[in-house]
A = this chain, B = another copy of it.
Amino acid sequence: MKTISTAKSHGGVQGVYSHASEACACDMTFAVFVPPQAQNGPCPVVWYLSGLTCTHQNVMDKGEYRRLAAELGLIVVCPDTSPRGESIPDEKDNWQFGCGAGFYLDATQAPFSANYRMYSYITEELPALIAKEFPADMTRQAIFGHSMGGHGALTIALKNPERFRSCSAFAPITRPMVAGWSKPAFEKYLGSDEATWRAYDAVALIEDGRRFSEFLVDQGSADGFLEDGLRPWLLEEVCRSADIPLELNMREGYDHSYFFISTFMDDHLRWHAERLAR
């Protein structure tokens, strides 16, 4: 692991690191905030997965998580959203596929299957690195994210309920296998057999029997992607039928941006901290 930068912030350290990823077959960059409490022992880990077009940096710059994470003693890990580099297959003019759009799945179709293995990266390779290099209590983990990263958080929690004590999302894509901005990516990454897509779709996973303790979701009512891309009511419906408690907060007038995320960041961090302390 290589340290790209560190800066003291809110009594802790905000760092940016890179490493040669085996899962993605390229160098990967990520950000970690370590709170001041880590000087006295391992701290719980909160994973934040970002949305389309983002790197580790967007939430690091604009998410406003450090003040409260420092108070609550939370390590916050912010991975990148895809493999990157000149050798990585990409569609340069398409922000909904390729670099910046890994959708937290393991691609099975060439040429993408060689690098686009973000599910393995986020659930296996990066956790092992975090456990090794940071003062992290890996028995206490939580996961959340935004938009495509909200989809990532929901699906990863549903498939690994024993690992995460809590899961929340800001404006998540709830049903990516049918939404216009994600369906073409699923087809290119996973092939034309839609049955294989269900392993990366929160609604389908619940339909197919996966369960999680409870979810918290915040969604802005003025989000331009609400009707076609996000549709939290689909998650609400399937959670109701599966008896999964869902706190869905519709936030009047908020859009899809970090101005929305940062507004409700404190609520989500407190929600995770309460469950991590149980």
Chain A contacts to B: CB under 8 angstroms: 7-11, 14, 61-62, 64, 66-67, 220, 222, 253-255, 257-260, 262-263, 266
Instruction: Kindly report which residue of chain B lies nearest to residue A11, judged by CB atoms.
Output: B263
The DSSP consensus for interface residues of chain A is mixed
Find out whether the CB atom of B62 lies under 8 angstroms from the CB atom of A8: no
A196→B254 CA distance, assembly (Å): 49
The 5 closest A-B pairs by CB, nearest first: A9-B259, A7-B259, A8-B253, A10-B263, A64-B64
Q: Given the complex of chains A and B, what is the CA–CA distance between A217 and B11 in angstroms?
A: 18
Chain B residues with Cβ below 8 Å from A62 are 61-62
Q: Please give the count of copies of this chain that the complex contains.
A: 2
Residues of B within 8 A of A262 (CB): 9-10, 64, 66-67
Q: Are B8 and A222 in contact (CB under 8 A)?
A: yes
In the complex, given contacts A7-B254, A14-B259, A66-B262, what are 6 additional A-B residue pairs having Cβ atoms less than 8 angstroms apart?
A: A8-B222, A8-B254, A9-B259, A10-B263, A11-B263, A67-B266
Tell me the minimal C-beta distance from A46 to chain B in angstroms: 18
For residue A39, give the distance in angstroms from its CB to the closest CB of chain B.
13
Q: Which residue of B lies closest to A264 (CB)?
A: B10
* Residue from the list B8, B14, B64, B258 in contact with A67, Cβ < 8 A: B64
A259 to B67, CA, bound (A): 10
> In the complex, what residues of B have CB within 8 A of residue A258's CB?
61
Q: Which residues of B contact A61 (CB under 8 A)?
A: 61-62, 258
Q: How far is the CA of A266 from the CA of B260 in the complex (A)?
A: 20
A62 to B58 CA separation, bound complex (whole angstroms): 10
